[in-house]
């Protein structure tokens, strides 16, 4: 059922780059946590005492960035990037480089906007540029494709679930680290200097991540046909169709369902229960919001660690069985979220919600095992 990768393939790639990939992932994710906090900070030109107006204006601007057109551009770009990577000798490093570089550019633009203001026409152009850049580099999604493809093609079938789990477990911890950096700077740095210090912190984190990727992530790509016409829509469609060729009907259906579920879950892991957090933020005290965020993040982390280390690696339980178990917990948690009215009840439900990161891990691992190595970019 699974596409087999012989051990000889690992010898071809040489030493393992996963530890450095984990470091780069942690740095990049922490910078995203800090950067997302900046988008909700007060506008510095708002007079003191009217900061609440600045908060609402910046929240409205931040939410306006996430719209249908931006999602559409991001989807097209990540689709083309995955196909390009597969057809150009499995080049995964550019998919890791580009989001980091573009995040540095985006944060630099925020610094420019912090200190300088231009006439309305030029200001509109700069705001459009600040909107277009995140749409084109796709951020976390393109980084995800590059990292997971790289890990999948440099691991055996037996170790792949464990390695996917380690990478995915890095995300929730890095988000907590990023939130901690923001809290620390707000305590130590005077209020009027906080924003540009946080901008510089995100740039520094991404520069370190860029250096780690450049120096320690080995290029495992192969030679390719430079005349290949991958960019036309019909060739992209052929790439997707080829995923299901030479497979039985049952395997093809399973693969299609897994790819759809993976798209939903991977998107959700970056903005999980965003509406619920908005409700908490606007109706409960800030301490309760913190308790909920920490408990949910730790539940995701420990759920991943337990499932991949104990259930998969030690007990050798089949990934499909673990996936079915996760789905049962997922349904139970979703139903339980309908009834609670107090913060402690919701925090208790996060204990049930241990399966969130596990579901992402299992599905991404299963998808990578059902396709060939040269097709990982377009399906992961």
pLDDT digits (tens, 9 = 90+) for 2-25: 444 434 444 443 446 888 999 999
Q: Are 2 and 370 in contact (CB under 8 A)?
A: yes
Closest CA to 167 of 321, 305, 354: 305
Q: Which two tokens stand for residue 356?
A: 């969130």
Mean local confidence (pLDDT), 246-255: 82
Average pLDDT, the chain: 73
Would you state the pLDDT for residue 233? 60
DSSP secondary structure code for residue 3 in this structure: P
First and final C-alpha spacing in the chain: 18
Closest CA to 311 of 351, 358, 366: 358
| 207 pLDDT tier (thresholds 50, 70, 90) | very high
Would you state the pLDDT for residue 287? 62
SS3 call for 166: helix
| 352 pLDDT tier (thresholds 50, 70, 90) | low
Long-range contacts of 220-225 (CB under 8 A, 24+ apart): 220/13, 220/90, 220/92, 220/150, 220/153, 220/154, 221/88, 221/89, 221/90, 221/91, 221/92, 221/93, 222/89, 222/90, 223/89, 224/87, 224/88, 224/89
More confident residue, 373 or 47: 373
Domains assigned to the chain: 13-219+232-379 (1.20.1250.20)
SS3 call for 244: coil
Q: Which two tokens stand for residue 54?
A: 């600045």
Mean local confidence (pLDDT), 243-247: 79
DSSP secondary structure code for residue 312 in this structure: I
pLDDT digits (tens, 9 = 90+) for 157-205: 888 888 999 998 898 888 888 888 888 887 887 765 666 778 888 899 9
Would you state the pLDDT for residue 71? 64
| 291 pLDDT tier (thresholds 50, 70, 90) | confident
Least confident of 189-193, 240-244, 316-320, 369-373: 189-193
Would you state the pLDDT for residue 6? 38
Closest CA to 165 of 316, 265, 298, 303: 303
More confident residue, 29 or 336: 29
Sign of CA dihedral 317, 311, 320, 242: negative
CA angle, 240 as apex, 239 and 243 as ends, to 5°?
95
Would you state the pLDDT for residue 342? 75
More confident residue, 277 or 128: 128
Would you state the pLDDT for residue 23? 92
Give whichever of 126-135, 316-325, 343-352 has the largest mean pLDDT.
316-325
Containing H/E element for 144?
Answer: helix 140-153
Please tell me the distance from the alpha carbon of residue 162 to that of residue 165, in angstroms, as a whole number. 5
More confident residue, 272 or 151: 151
| 286-305 and 157-188 helices, crossing angle to 10° | 160
pLDDT digits (tens, 9 = 90+) for 79-138: 778 777 887 778 889 889 988 988 888 888 777 776 776 665 566 666 666 666 655 556
Percent of the chain with pLDDT over 70: 65
Q: Which two tokens stand for residue 275?
A: 């509406």
pLDDT of 300 over the 90 cut:
no
Mean local confidence (pLDDT), 265-280: 50
Residue 4 CB: number of other CB atoms within 10 A?
Answer: 8
CB neighbour class for 135 (10 Å; exposed up to 12, middle 13-18, buried from 19): buried
Please tell me the distance from the alpha carbon of residue 49 to that of residue 336, in angstroms, as a whole number. 41
Q: Which two tokens stand for residue 326?
A: 């996760």
pLDDT digits (tens, 9 = 90+) for 43-60: 433 333 334 444 444 445
pLDDT digits (tens, 9 = 90+) for 356-366: 778 888 888 88
Q: 100-122: buried (b, 16+ CB within 10 Å) or exposed (e) per residue?
A: bebbbbbbebbeebbeeeeeeee
Q: Which two tokens stand for residue 319?
A: 């990934």
Please tell me the distance from the alpha carbon of residue 354 to that of residue 253, in angstroms, as a whole number. 27
Would you state the pLDDT for residue 82? 79
Integer angstrom CA distances of residue 242 from 80, 84, 261, 369? 16, 15, 19, 15
| 351 pLDDT tier (thresholds 50, 70, 90) | low
Q: Are 357 and 303 in contact (CB under 8 A)?
A: yes
pLDDT of 256 over the 50 cut:
yes
Would you state the pLDDT for residue 204? 94
């Amino acid at each position: 059922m699974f596409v087999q990768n012989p051990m000889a393939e690992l010898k071809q790639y040489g030493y393992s780059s996963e530890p450095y990939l984990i470091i780069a992932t942690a740095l990049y994710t922490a910078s995203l946590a800090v950067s997302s906090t900046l988008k909700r900070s007060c506008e510095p030109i708002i007079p003191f005492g009217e900061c609440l107006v600045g908060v609402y204006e910046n929240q409205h601007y931040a939410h306006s960035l996430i719209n249908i057109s931006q999602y559409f551009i991001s989807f097209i770009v990540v689709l083309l990037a995955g196909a390009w990577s597969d057809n150009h000798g499995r080049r995964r490093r550019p998919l890791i480089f580009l989001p980091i570089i573009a995040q540095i550019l985006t944060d630099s633009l925020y610094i420019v906007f912090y200190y300088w203001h231009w006439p309305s026409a030029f200001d509109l152009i700069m705001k459009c540029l600040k909107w277009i850049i995140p749409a084109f580099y796709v951020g976390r999604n393109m980084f995800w494709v590059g990292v997971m493809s790289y890990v999948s093609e440099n691991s055996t079938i037996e170790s792949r679930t464990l390695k996917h789990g380690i990478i995915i477990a890095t995300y929730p911890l890095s988000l907590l680290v990023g939130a901690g950096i923001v809290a620390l700077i707000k305590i130590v740095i005077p209020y009027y200097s906080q924003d540009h210090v946080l901008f510089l912190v995100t740039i520094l984190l991404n520069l370190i991540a860029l250096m780690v990727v450049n120096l320690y992530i080995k290029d495992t790509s192969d030679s390719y046909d430079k005349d290949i016409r991958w960019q036309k829509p019909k060739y992209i469609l052929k790439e997707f169709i080829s995923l299901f060729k030479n497979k039985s009907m049952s395997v093809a259906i399973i693969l299609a369902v897994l790819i759809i579920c993976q798209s939903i879950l991977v998107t959700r892991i970056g903005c999980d229960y965003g509406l619920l957090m908005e409700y908490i933020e606007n109706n409960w005290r800030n301490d309760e919001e913190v308790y909920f965020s920490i408990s949910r993040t730790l539940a995701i982390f420990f759920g991943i660690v337990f499932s991949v280390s104990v259930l998969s690696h030690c007990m050798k339980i089949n990934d499909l069985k673990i996936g079915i178990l996760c789905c049962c917990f997922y349904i139970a948690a979703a139903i339980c979220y309908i009834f609670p009215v107090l913060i402690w009840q919701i925090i208790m439900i996060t204990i049930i919600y241990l399966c969130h990161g596990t579901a992402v891990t299992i599905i991404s691992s299963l998808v990578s095992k059902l396709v060939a190595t040269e097709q990982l970019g377009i399906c992961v």
